Structure 1
């Protein structure tokens, strides 16, 4: 996972509430087992019907963004399309969690601040300072640490590889190995 610290540039705007994960990535495109290659299907129906969706680094969306099913493919598609930071008055809980575990920074700001960022057309997100331009945002300290370090669940586990090996060695027993076929 790529670390996130500063994300800066033009914003893409989706001025709609309750955008669900099936709109972000339709289910029929979720046949891959890799995390890549989903960007071309991001908001597929919308774009096929002429919706302009520039691939900017920051997406500003309406409230309850990412509602619906709990597919990880939605953050994968958004990231593969080019978005690194998402700004909304609020996100669906599971979607928000999936974003942080997959290298996309979801930021909740009051609607008035979201509207101001949209009006400006660009923004600077600073995760270390926890700001979007002059607007502060809250983030769990552990999630912040993971995103700044580019750490997903696997890399967190691998940080304890020596302790895991020591635990397994201490639990070894004599006798035949019944774990091999």
Structure 2
């Protein structure tokens, strides 16, 4: 997974509330299981008409917003079904950060698992960022300091769970996170098991000898 440290990109405002995962990634594309290339299907019904032509009234089809990497969204973004293709499609589209008052719970967790940073903000800080996004401003999200830096230079602070922040900063998926945080425990367990149940390790030893 690509680490998320500091990310600078065009921002876009999608203020509608309750944008569910079926809007983000329509169900008719669920038979596609490859991550690569899914960006073409993100917001498909909103981006394209029935003939497949771009809808000029959809924000992400217009400059500079078609280059957006940061979305300032409405409340309950990513609600609905648990389909992981929704964050896959957004990531493939180039979106790495979504800022909203609230998120669908499963979508929120899936963002972190796919190298994306969902930020919960509300009130006046969100209003300032939405104004920036409506203008297509460049924003910088610094996960190390937990700040969103605006074109005016005044930063807006945000919070993120420490363990999720650490995983994003290091580019750890779930397996990498366990190996990094519990490596001593894993090694101790393996040493104990090798002594208590050596027959479980005989096949590995034989295979290593065969390839050594």
TM category (shorter chain) comes to 0.7 to 0.9
In structure 2, the residue matched to 1:59 is 71
In structure 2, the residue matched to 1:110 is 122
Deviation at 1:168, TM superposition (A): 5.1
1:69 aligns with 2:90: no
In structure 2, the residue matched to 1:128 is 144
Deviation at 1:90, TM superposition (A): 1.1
Deviation at 1:81, TM superposition (A): 0.3
Q: Could you tell me the TM-score, scaled by structure 2's length?
A: 0.75
- RMSD, aligned CA: 2.2
Deviation at 1:87, TM superposition (A): 0.5
Deviation at 1:155, TM superposition (A): 1.7
- In structure 2, relative to structure 1, the CA distance for the partners of 1:173 and 1:37 (3 Å cut) is same
- Given that 1:7 and 1:58 are in contact with CA atoms closer than 8 Å, whether structure 2 keeps it comes out as no
Structure 1: which 5+ residue stretches go unaligned?
none
Deviation at 1:96, TM superposition (A): 0.6
Whole-Å separation in 1 of the counterparts to 2:38 and 2:191: 39
Whole-Å separation in 2 of the counterparts to 1:89 and 1:8: 21
- In structure 2, relative to structure 1, the CA distance for the partners of 1:155 and 1:61 (3 Å cut) is same
- Given that 1:55 and 1:83 are in contact with CA atoms closer than 8 Å, whether structure 2 keeps it comes out as no
- Given that 1:87 and 1:106 are in contact with CA atoms closer than 8 Å, whether structure 2 keeps it comes out as yes
Deviation at 1:82, TM superposition (A): 0.4
Quick check: 23-32 or 41-50, which moved more?
Answer: 23-32
Number of equivalent positions: 176
- Given that 2:10 and 2:67 are in contact with CA atoms closer than 8 Å, whether structure 1 keeps it comes out as no
Structure 2: which 5+ residue stretches go unaligned?
50-54, 61-65, 150-154, 203-212
Whole-Å separation in 2 of the counterparts to 1:174 and 1:148: 40
Whole-Å separation in 1 of the counterparts to 2:190 and 2:71: 42
Deviation at 1:33, TM superposition (A): 3.2
Deviation at 1:29, TM superposition (A): 1.3
Whole-Å separation in 2 of the counterparts to 1:18 and 1:9: 24
Higher helix share: 2
Deviation at 1:109, TM superposition (A): 0.9
Whole-Å separation in 2 of the counterparts to 1:46 and 1:167: 57
In structure 2, the residue matched to 1:31 is 31
Whole-Å separation in 2 of the counterparts to 1:88 and 1:154: 28
